[in-house]
Structure 1
Amino acid sequence: MTKPRVYLAGPDLFFEDRDARYARLRAACANAGLEAVAPTDGLEVHTERPLSVAEQIYQHNLRLLRDCDGVLVNLSPFRGVEPDSGTVFEAAFATAIGKPVAAWIGDHWNTQERSAVLRKVWRDADGRVRDSHDGGLVEDFGLPANLMLACSFSVSPAPWQAIERLLMALPVMEGV
């Protein structure tokens, strides 16, 4: 009679208040009948091992992703307009190995609106929105995240909504 285990992917571990962030996510998951697993859970890094610290963390997180029943992903912008690249990798890895994934972005903007607010943008002669920093095209599909993410799994505006979506995607667990 175990609860479905859900891996918490996101940049939350980089913040000083990470314990509080994980506590809120764990409580929300517990309310939904899920066991939340943070990337730092059970992590033991050994400097005397032949693997670098980075490689040990990488292997640990892949093991957790494989062992969990689903993945809850924080795609909120991190150090810019886009989500954390490690988080995106974890979401893609989980999708590739057939794990249910649901995500949230902590704002209500689509990718074009987010770029306009967080960076300077301009319209080219053809009316396409471009980033003022590098001139790159800003995706304009009205999606809350890059199309490769938003078309792979549901992306909600809040964690509790993503948890509800993940519950619908998880297989029914016997005895839960």
Structure 2
Amino acid sequence: MAHLVLHPLDFEVLHADNIIRPGWLAGLYRHQWLTLLRLDQGLVEPGWSRDVTEAQFDACALRCGRTLKDRQKVTWRWTGFNFGVDLVMVHSRRQISLRRNVRQELPLLISQANSRDVIYRSSSGLTAVQLARGQEVRVLTLDEAATYPLLLAKLSSNSKHAPRIV
């Protein structure tokens, strides 16, 4: 259910469709709001990202796919999710990189925290990194044998501690 309310438009659609009773969403709204406040104030457990198990990650993941049609350089972003973490992905020269974007013209919409924990999964398993504002990390180097099109996915979730972003 938490994945139904990751963006303000999601709330509007849920209410307009009137499929789910508003009262059923009250606990979800509270959880999302408290998670946002904890993150914004830096009140998350230190090291939470190192303690995430594969099972927890799989149970809480939201999958959003992207298809890379060929070897050309492609840049894309996933915004509006993960409590203000603006992630930019880059595919160039058979490498995939992840950058935490911080745009100064939108200071109230994007987290300005000095660093944010990010978890991603690649063929080597779960990897936790701490991204500073504007920092970029290489996530994956594609094998020469890899053929296009390639399907990539971003996985994110909300826990009682902090969001997990992949």
TM-score by length of 2: 0.24
Structure with a larger share of its residues in helix: 1
TM-score normalised by structure 1 residue count: 0.24
Larger Rg: 1
Higher strand share: 2
